[in-house]
């Protein structure tokens, strides 16, 4: 950071340097559009709704007068950041240009150009991908980060000022201060300053001088100061010091810094020599009004405090270089920051050069901040092609070595990886993977276990990886969508932010926010959730359930020493934040810190459903993170079940495995949700809390009144095992099957009731039929343009298509699907709801049903799902009238376990049987 910028951040200004802010209203014109007022700092896309997603060229200009007394001093126009390329003119004459969207630059003002009233003009270019129009810097070859996701950014998005100073000045200060309490200072000076004496003073937070030294200004000057009693900087104790450099009578600059050391050893991250557990969140560093530009220092402070309230100790600032105040706040409030170079889209020599120049600029501006502990060169192979290009892999290894040599005080990540890419040489073995629970719970468990065991898929399999083997394991992206409350995002006049109209090009269209309430109403989802407000609350608790389970699962593996949640805040249409775009908290804000903590209690029941009066085995583990558990600690549980167990003394970044214990479920005449509260106590203090919810079912009667027919002997045995009488089809109340054929359809048309367990175990024609209706054969022979044409699959009776979720937006990974069972009629007694919880883990469907119209969703669909901002409705349980009979179909996988062993499966089966029996038929 420049001395003036640093002084401004600290609230002080050097007497040797004076600054005139040029922030405020500028005249602005985009391409051939009209002249209008624009506010600086801020991208033009944030201010003008008609320019929300525009590239192109724009002009900014404003007038200023040079303050009296500045005439004989060196003047510089200073820009915090301009996106992307700009030419600067003063009083009509070009004085310089700059390329790069994220970093500061300055231009010396020629004295001959200064007048009583001066006009500065900045001509800005934000390129598109058209390499013919922008041959020098097409968009795909410039570092741009998430501009390619959330919309383009152009203009003067950081502050502009005019600085007056002596030509004899300090040009750069690099501070290295570690846990050895030594302060190593490297200084650069302007040429006129060479030979002048410079006084260095280190002050503590009270302003007391604790060390001093003198150097003579040279092209490269060094100093070493010792502060034996220095207090180290950490997350819990963010102790800051300041270094002031006085250059004779010519210049003074002050920089803030902290004593801290970050390194890795034996699979752990060590802060000041002690292991820490990274509890991070991805931060896109986007803002509700300014997009790239934070509204104020106070806003950043509030955001950081909320992050710490959530239990976070790290922010991964994602492929973006933030406003310098971001780091200043992290320094003061105690947050670790992991910063990444903004990515390009196409790897060329020019784009590689630009990325390296960007990293050099980041180091020059930001390297004195103790909060920054890690750099990332590439995110998820964006811009490079590591899987197929050996040159890219070699470039990445070379870049790792280059950056490590440039800054040995921090960790360096080569490629923050995800499937199918990998690392080649790195300080952290980090990986990204997304799975929703309960939808993909087993996949989450399996991948996490493999990663914790040192999976070989995290590094290049092509013979060129340089893997030490002890790189700390970090799950550096995971999470699931919730949804914000749209009312909190609209203006006082009810106007939606411009980004509500974006997102339609992502996730098969499910990321479009606009119209969410109308879609909710059209699907009659109020019948399931009560109201739209209750729906929003439920999906936010669903997000909490996911994050809690996934964090707990990672904490079971002590080899995993940290994680990064996606993400701190929602960003436009991307709704997976712990806070919304306006930094409003989710409903779980006050309880999230109980599981996003150093010490975490992990209860793992054999199943998240149980029968009243039965024993439920629960495995108990306590994970320590960066803290320890002293001798004499006790884990207690209370609520519907009570008890306690002693916990052995446990060191940091470890687990205390307490074994599996039989929890006796209380007697209950009704089905309900049971909650067990856990508390870890030691020496009269509470070290950790958590809870576990179980779907408790009353003891089930085996005598069932409905009779069932089933040709499949396994289905017949399953139904019989649940107490149903098995009879021939002509005598049974309902027919049970996995799929139907033409004979079954004729029976339904004649008045039969069918229950179809369409769980994918029987091959069909992507619907509920194992055959193809004879009447369709002529249509299948129609050929046009070389293609055979077939009618829609949901035209085949019973008019329902069967869709495998894998490979579709319904899968349940990054953009979440919200699956529900409407708790009315036969389903009213199923505990919890409406959204599927962990009790559904073993029955969650791998297929879905389509062919239901919107007006059927709130009526004939008893269980279903929507995705993202309430798009792509599909059914999990649905009924249809066919001729004089009818069918009930479900994709729940109810026959995975022995009859009755899974209480949730048995309850759903009973409810489905009752639903089928109640179908209206004409016989």
**pLDDT (tens digit per residue) in 358-382:** 999 999 999 999 999 999 999 999 9
Is the pLDDT at 262 greater than 50? The verdict is yes
- Number of neighbouring beta carbons within 10 Å of residue 749: 14
CA distance 722 to 895: 11
Count of positions (residues) in the chain: 923
Let me know: does 710 contact 720? Beta carbons within 8 Å.
Answer: no
For 178-192, the pLDDT digits (tens) are: 999 999 999 999 999
- pLDDT for the residue 190: 95
Strands (E), 566-715: 600-605, 609-611, 615-623, 633-639, 643-647, 655-664, 672-682, 685-697, 707-709
> Cβ distance 707 to 725 under 8 Å?
yes
Cα torsion through 485, 490, 496, 498, rounded to 10: -90
CB 412 within 8 A of CB 403: yes
Question: What is the per-residue pLDDT across 189-209, written as a single tens digit (0 to 9) for each?
Answer: 999 999 999 999 999 999 999
Q: Is the pLDDT of residue 424 over 90?
A: yes
Nearby residues of 880 by Cβ (< 8 Å), 6 or more positions away: 798, 799, 800, 860, 886, 887, 889
pLDDT at 871 over 80: yes
Task: Give yes or no for a contact between 583 and 611, defined as CB atoms under 8 angstroms apart.
Answer: no
Percentage of the chain lying above the pLDDT 70 cut: 97
What are the respective helix, strand and coil percentages of the chain, to the nearest 5?
A: 20, 35, 45
pLDDT at 856 over 50: yes
Average pLDDT over residues 384-404: 97
More confident residue, 554 or 795: 554
User: What tokens were used for 539?
Assistant: 């999906």
**Residue 346 clears pLDDT 80, i.e. is over it:** yes
Position 13 pLDDT exceeds 70? no
610 beta partners: 696
- Strand 817-821 relative to strand 861-867, pairing: antiparallel
pLDDT at 792: 65
416-429 average pLDDT score: 97
State how far the Cα of 258 lies from the Cα of 178, in Å rounded to an integer: 8
- Does the pLDDT of residue 780 top 90, yes or no? no
Q: Which residues contact 209 (CB under 8 A, 6 or more apart)?
A: 201, 202, 203
Confidence check: pLDDT of 392 > 70: yes
Q: Could you tell me if 429 and 476 are in contact, meaning their C-beta atoms sit under 8 angstroms apart?
A: no
Give pLDDT, residue 1.
36
The pTM score is: 0.94
Tell me phi and psi for residue 715, to 5 degrees: -65, -40
Backbone torsions φ then ψ of 122, nearest 5 degrees:
-120, 115
From residue 199, give the alpha-carbon distance in Å to each of 209, 225, 792: 12, 12, 82
Asked whether 51 and 44 are in contact (CB, 8 A), the reply is yes
- The answer to whether the beta carbons of residues 630 and 683 sit under 8 Å apart is yes
Residue 886 to residue 860: CA distance in whole angstroms: 12
Provide the phi-psi class of 533: left if phi over 0, else alpha when psi is between -120 and 50, else beta.
alpha
Q: Are 434 and 814 in contact (CB under 8 A)?
A: yes
Check pLDDT > 70 for residue 727. Answer: yes
Coil/strand/helix, residue 413: strand
Mean model confidence pLDDT for the chain: 94
For CA atoms 585, 587, 589, 590, the dihedral sign is positive
Mean pLDDT value of segment 164-186: 96
- pLDDT at position 570: 97
Contact between 635 and 570 (Cβ < 8 Å):
no
Within 10 A of 518 (CB to CB), how many other CB atoms are there? 10
CA distances from 917 to 63, 445, 716, 743, 828 (A): 81, 38, 17, 20, 16
Q: How far apart are CA 310 and CA 686, in angstroms?
A: 18
Percentage, residues of the chain above pLDDT 90:
92
pLDDT digits (tens, 9 = 90+) for 301-343: 999 999 999 999 999 999 999 999 999 999 999 999 999 999 9
**How confident is the model over 227-258, as pLDDT tens digits?**
999 999 999 999 999 999 999 999 999 999 99
The Cα 479–Cα 280 span in angstroms is 12
Confidence of residue 8 (pLDDT cuts 50, 70, 90): very low
Q: What is the pLDDT of residues 663-703, one digit of tens each?
A: 999 999 999 999 999 999 999 999 999 999 999 999 888 78
| Model confidence pLDDT, tens digit, residues 51-92 | 998 999 999 999 999 999 998 899 999 999 999 999 999 999
- In angstroms, rounded to a whole number, what is the distance separating the alpha carbons of residues 660 and 663? 9
The mean per-residue pLDDT over the stretch 893-900 comes to 95
* Per-residue confidence band for 791, with pLDDT thresholds at 50, 70 and 90: low
Task: Please determine, for residue 738, whether its predicted confidence score (pLDDT) is greater than 50.
Answer: yes
Could you give the residue ranges of the DSSP H alpha helices within 524-675? 526-529, 532-555, 589-592
Tokens of 407: 């800054």
């Amino acid at each position: 950071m420049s001395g003036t910028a640093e002084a401004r951040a600290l609230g002080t200004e050097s007497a040797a340097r004076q600054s005139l802010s040029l922030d405020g209203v500028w005249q602005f014109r985009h391409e051939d559009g009209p002249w209008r007022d624009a506010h600086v700092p801020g991208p033009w896309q944030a201010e003008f709704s008609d320019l929300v997603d525009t590239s192109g060229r724009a002009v900014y200009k404003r007038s200023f007068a040079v303050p009296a007394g500045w005439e004989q001093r060196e003047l510089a126009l200073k820009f915090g950041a301009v996106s992307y390329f700009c030419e600067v003119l003063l009083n009509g004459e070009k004085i310089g240009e700059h390329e790069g969207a994220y970093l500061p630059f300055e231009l010396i003002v020629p004295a001959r150009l200064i007048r009583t009233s001066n006009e500065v003009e900045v001509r800005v270019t934000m390129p598109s991908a058209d390499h013919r129009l922008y041959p020098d810097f097409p968009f795909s070859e410039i570092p741009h980060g998430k501009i390619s996701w959330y919309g383009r950014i152009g203009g003067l998005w950081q502050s502009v000022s005019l600085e007056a100073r002596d030509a004899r000045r300090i040009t750069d200060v690099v501070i290295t201060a570690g846990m050895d309490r030594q302060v190593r200072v490297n200084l650069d000076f302007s040429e006129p300053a060479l030979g002048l004496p410079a006084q260095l003073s280190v002050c503590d937070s009270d302003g007391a001088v604790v060390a001093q030294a003198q150097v003579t200004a040279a092209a490269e000057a060094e100093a070493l100061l010792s502060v034996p009693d220095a207090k180290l900087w950490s997350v819990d104790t963010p102790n800051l010091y300041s270094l002031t450099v006085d250059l004779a009578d010519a210049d003074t600059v002050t920089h803030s810094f902290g004593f801290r050391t970050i390194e890795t050893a034996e699979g752990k991250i060590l802060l000041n020599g002690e292991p820490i557990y990274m509890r991070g969140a991805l931060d896109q560093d986007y803002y509700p009004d300014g997009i790239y530009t934070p509204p104020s220092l106070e806003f950043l402070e509030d955001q950081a405090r909320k992050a710490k309230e959530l239990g976070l100790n790290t922010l991964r600032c994602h492929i973006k270089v933030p406003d310098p105040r971001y780091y200043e706040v992290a320094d003061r409030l105690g947050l670790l920051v992991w910063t990444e170079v903004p990515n390009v889209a196409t790897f060329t020599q020019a784009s590689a050069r630009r990325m390296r120049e960007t990293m050099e600029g980041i180091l020059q501006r930001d390297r004195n901040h103790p909060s920054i502990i890690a750099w990332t060169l590439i995110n998820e192979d964006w811009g490079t092609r590591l899987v197929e290009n050996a040159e890219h892999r070699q470039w990445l290894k070379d870049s790792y070595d280059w950056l490590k040599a440039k800054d040995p005080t921090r960790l360096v990540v080569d490629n923050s990886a995800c499937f199918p890419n990998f690392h080649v040489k790195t300080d952290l073995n980090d990986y990204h993977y997304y799975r929703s629970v309960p939808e993909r719970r087993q996949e989450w468990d399996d991948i996490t276990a493999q990663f914790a065991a040192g999976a070989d898929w995290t590094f290049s399999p092509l013979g060129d990886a340089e893997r030490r083997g002890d790189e700390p394991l970090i799950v550096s992206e995971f999470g699931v969508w919730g949804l914000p409350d749209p009312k909190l995002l609209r203006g006082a006049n009810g106007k939606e932010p411009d980004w509500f109209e974006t997102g339609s090009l992502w996730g098969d269209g499910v990321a479009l926010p606009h119209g969410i309430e109308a879609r909710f109403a059209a699907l009659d989802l109020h019948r399931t959730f009560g109201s739209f407000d209750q729906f929003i609350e439920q999906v936010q608790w669903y997000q909490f359930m996911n994050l809690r389970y996934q964090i707990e699962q990672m904490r079971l593996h002590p080899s995993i020493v940290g994680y990064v949640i996606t993400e701190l805040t929602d960003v436009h249409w991307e709704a997976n934040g712990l806070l919304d775009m306006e930094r409003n908290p989710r409903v779980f804000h006050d309880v999230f810190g109980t599981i996003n903590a150093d010490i975490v209690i992990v209860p793992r029941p054999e199943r998240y459903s149980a029968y009243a009066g039965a024993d439920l085995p629960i495995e108990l583990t306590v994970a320590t993170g960066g803290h320890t558990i002293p001798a004499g600690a006790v884990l207690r549980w209370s609520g519907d079940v009570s008890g306690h167990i002693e916990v052995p003394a446990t060191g940091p970044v470890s687990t205390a495995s307490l074994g599996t214990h039989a929890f006796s479920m209380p007697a209950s005449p009704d089905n309900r949700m049971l909650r067990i509260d856990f508390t870890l106590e030691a020496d009269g203090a509470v070290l950790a809390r958590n809870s576990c919810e179980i779907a408790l079912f009353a003891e089930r009667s085996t005598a069932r009144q409905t009779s069932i027919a089933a040709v499949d002997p396994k289905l017949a045995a399953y139904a019989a095992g649940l107490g149903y009488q098995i009879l021939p089809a002509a005598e049974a109340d309902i027919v049970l099957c996995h799929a139907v054929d033409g004979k079954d359809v004729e029976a339904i048309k004649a008045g039969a009731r069918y229950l179809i367990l369409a769980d994918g175990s029987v091959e069909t024609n992507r619907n509920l039929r194992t055959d193809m209706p004879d009447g369709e054969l002529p249509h299948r022979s129609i050929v046009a343009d070389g293609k055979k044409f077939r009618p829609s699959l949901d035209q085949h009776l019973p008019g329902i298509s069967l869709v495998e979720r894998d490979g579709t937006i319904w899968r349940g990974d990054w953009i979440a699907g919200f699956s529900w069972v409407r708790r009315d009629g036969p389903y009213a007694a199923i505990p919890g709801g409406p959204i599927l919880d962990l009790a559904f883990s073993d029955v969650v469907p791998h297929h879905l049903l389509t062919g239901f119209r919107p007006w059927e969703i709130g009526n004939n669909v008893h269980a279903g799902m929507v995705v993202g901002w309430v798009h792509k409705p599909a059914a999990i349980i649905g009924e249809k009238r066919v001729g004089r009979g009818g069918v009930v179909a479900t994709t729940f996988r109810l026959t995975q376990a022995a009859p009755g062993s899974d209480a949730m499966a048995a309850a759903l089966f009973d409810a489905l049987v009752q639903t089928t029996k109640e179908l209206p038929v004409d016989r």
